A and B are shown apart, each in its own frame.
Chain A
Amino acid sequence: DARVTQTPRHKVTEMGQEVTMRCQPILGHNTVFWYRQTMMQGLELLAYFRNRAPLDDSGMPKDRFSAEMPDATLATLKIQPSEPRDSAVYFCASGLVLGGLNTGELFFGEGSRLTVL
C-alpha cells in the first residue's frame, strides 16, 4: 500500500532551535510538495520539487526555511532558527507529472505537527 511517510509526527521545541522534518515520497513519483497548514492561513504551499529540482519555493521564508531533496526517496524541510509563529502542521505530498500535466492524485502524508514554544 503506497503512501507518503513523514517524520516526526509531532515535535515540540523551543524558540531558536533547529527543526528538521522528513518526507519519503511514493516510489516513482517525480513531484514533491511541502505545505503548511494553520487555522488562520489554511493550506499554504512552501516548496515544490520536480525530479528533485526545486521549481518554486517562493512561499517559504528564505531566511530561516530551507527545503532539499538529497535523493529521490527523501525530502527535507528545515527551520533554523524556529519561532513560535512557525507552529503549524507541515504536510508533504507527492505526485506524478508527465508531459507537464499532473496525472492524478496528489498523495499527502499524515503531517508533522510542530509546536514552537
Chain B
Amino acid sequence: EPEVTQTPSHQVTQMGQEVILRCVPISNHLYFYWYRQILGQKVEFLVSFYNNEISEKSEIFDDQFSVERPDGSNFTLKIRSTKLEDSAMYFCASSEFLAGSTDTQYFGPGTRLTVL
C-alpha cells in the first residue's frame, strides 16, 4: 500500500541553524501539507501546498518557514533559523485530487526535530 515517507526520522540541530525536513508524498497525490505536534500538545496545521503554491498557511508558519517541491517526488519544509520552540514532531501529509469530491489526507511517520 502506498504511503507517505519522511526523512530523517530524528533531526537534532543547534538554535539558529537551518533545517530541511523531507517528505515523499504518495505518488499520485497533488495536495501536500505540513503539520506539527509539540510534545504533549495537539497536532497543528502549518501549511498546505498545491500546484507549486502555498494555498493556506497558519499563523505559526511565519517568515522562518518555507516549503518547496524541488522535483516530482519530494516536498520539503525549511526552517531558516531554528528556535528552541520549534522542537516538535513534524508530519507531512498528502491527498489526492478528486474532482467534485474531497480528499483524505494520509500522514507520514513524522520527523522529530530537537533544537538545542
- The answer to whether A and B interact is no
Q: List chain A positions with a Cβ less than 8 A from chain B.
A: none
Q: List chain B positions with a Cβ less than 8 A from chain A.
A: none
